Amino acid sequence: MGITERKNKERADLKALILAAARKLFLEKGIGETSIRSIAEAIEYSPATIYLYYHDKDEILHDLHNQGFQELGARMSVLLAVSDPMERLKALGRVYIDFARQNTEMYDLMFIAKAPMNYIEKLQQQEWHEGKQAFEFLTLTVEECISSGRFHGHDAASLSYVIWSCVHGMVALEIRDRCKGISSEDPEVIFKGAFEAFIKVLESF
């Protein structure tokens, strides 16, 4: 291995180490307790070293949110094997919900927290590529549902946004414990029942 290749590998390895430490801190302590200084302490380097790789905390959190989308995308891509688009759509909702409930902090970073979007705005980037790719997967499935005779009279993009918004709303209420106390029923029962009710509404179109 030449000098340049070795330096590039060392740089890539240290950046991976920074991101791994940031992810561990973030998942254990949340955004507020994840700072450049705390990451530096975790990997036993100076904060100045972190700044050689990342401009600020928002850029680190943006890279972490990319990891989350890669993980969600891997789960979603398995559903391409489901030939019936309506069944795929229902499975997609369940995969999305399971991911959110199993990865509450990461879901919050991906879809609720402002930090990743702050970084995108600093770059003056016009598109949120990670979210767009996930949305396009949903839209493709809805388009196939329409082609098979479902959702007559609906635009695929608009309906996809409605579906995403509804499921996201359910998830956001659930993972932040907003289902507690709204009914005498167990919150778990309410949540699962709400999703099944939503599925029935979609199937009635």
CA nearest neighbour of 190 among 205, 201, 177: 177
pLDDT at 125: 83
What the chain holds in terms of domains, given with CATH numbers, is: 1-54 (1.10.10.60), 56-203 (1.10.357.10)
Tokens of 156: 């695929």
| Prediction pTM value | 0.89
pLDDT digits (tens, 9 = 90+) for 68-80: 999 999 999 999 9
pLDDT digits (tens, 9 = 90+) for 81-123: 999 999 999 999 999 999 999 999 999 999 999 999 999 999 8
| Amino acid, single-letter form, for residue 50 | I
pLDDT at 183: 66
Calpha distance 94→115 (Å, rounded): 27
